[in-house]
Amino acid sequence: MPETAPLNQPRSKTDLFVSFTLLALQGFGGVLAVVQRELVEKKRWMTREQFVEDWAVAQIMPGPNVVNLSLMIGGRYFGLPGALAGLAGMLAAPLVVVLLLAVAFGGVSDAFWAQGALRGMGAVSAGLIAAVGLKLIGALRSNPMGMPVCIALATASFVGVGLLRWPLAYVLLGTGLVACGWAYLQLARQATRDGEAP
């Protein structure tokens, strides 16, 4: 995906708040898929490559990952007030909605049709997450570790978490350390090469 047009950025903290509110209200069964589509493909606040990097940090830090992402993005443009605007946008309106739903439908969630609807929506949100994963693979092309190494690390992580069901922390420590170490070597080598070039 060649990046020709320059990136946009949020105009103000209000823009940030409103944008994240709208994102969050569209995010049934998880907000990630909407965030990726809106921020990268529509608003173009960041490239796919930047999104992967930010997502990596947001997911590894403790706390809800999309909320972490809103803190990071808000903080980057407007410091602490921006981070709070992003956070509030992500949480405030959905909180009101979910409480209203609890008051209105608290007793309904055991009904057969409601259970069925949840099952159906769950299956769709699994598909949404998978699609984001597939879309982001393309961003690995510019990764300093090179595509084959990236695919090998991704496969190993998938097998560990998805098939063998090892605890996430062990897998992150295992493949994560190898990956960061290898990336460090590649980047350091690149830096020396660039240093030598006239």
Partner 1 sequence: MNPVLQLSAQDWLSLFNHFASLSLLAVGGAITTAPDMHRYLVDETYWLSDAQFTSSIALAQAAPGPNILFVALMGWNVGLNAGAGLGGGWTSVALASLGVAVTMLGIMLPSSILTYTATRWAHKHREKIGIRAFKSGMAPIVIALLLATAWLLTVSHNLPARDWPLYVLTALTTLVVWRTKLHMLWLIGLGALLGALGWV
Residue 184 per-residue DSSP state: H
Closest approach of Cβ 152 to partner 1, in Å?
9
Of the two residues 15 and 93, which places its CB atom closer to partner 1 in the complex? Answer: 93
Of the two residues 3 and 168, which places its CB atom closer to partner 1 in the complex? Answer: 168
Of the two residues 3 and 108, which places its CB atom closer to partner 1 in the complex? Answer: 108
Contact 14, 49 (CB under 8 A): no
User: In this structure, how many other beta carbons lie within 10 angstroms of the beta carbon of residue 131?
Assistant: 13
Closest approach of Cβ 51 to partner 1, in Å?
10
Closest approach of Cβ 20 to partner 1, in Å?
10
Of the two residues 15 and 182, which places its CB atom closer to partner 1 in the complex? Answer: 182
Closest approach of Cβ 80 to partner 1, in Å?
7
Of the two residues 7 and 118, which places its CB atom closer to partner 1 in the complex? Answer: 118
* 3-class secondary-structure state, position 133: helix
CA dihedral 186, 138, 160, 176 (to 10 degrees): 30
Residues ≥6 apart with Cβ < 8 Å to 145: 153, 179, 182, 183, 186
Closest approach of Cβ 16 to partner 1, in Å?
15
Residues ≥6 apart with Cβ < 8 Å to 179: 145, 153
Contact 6, 76 (CB under 8 A): no
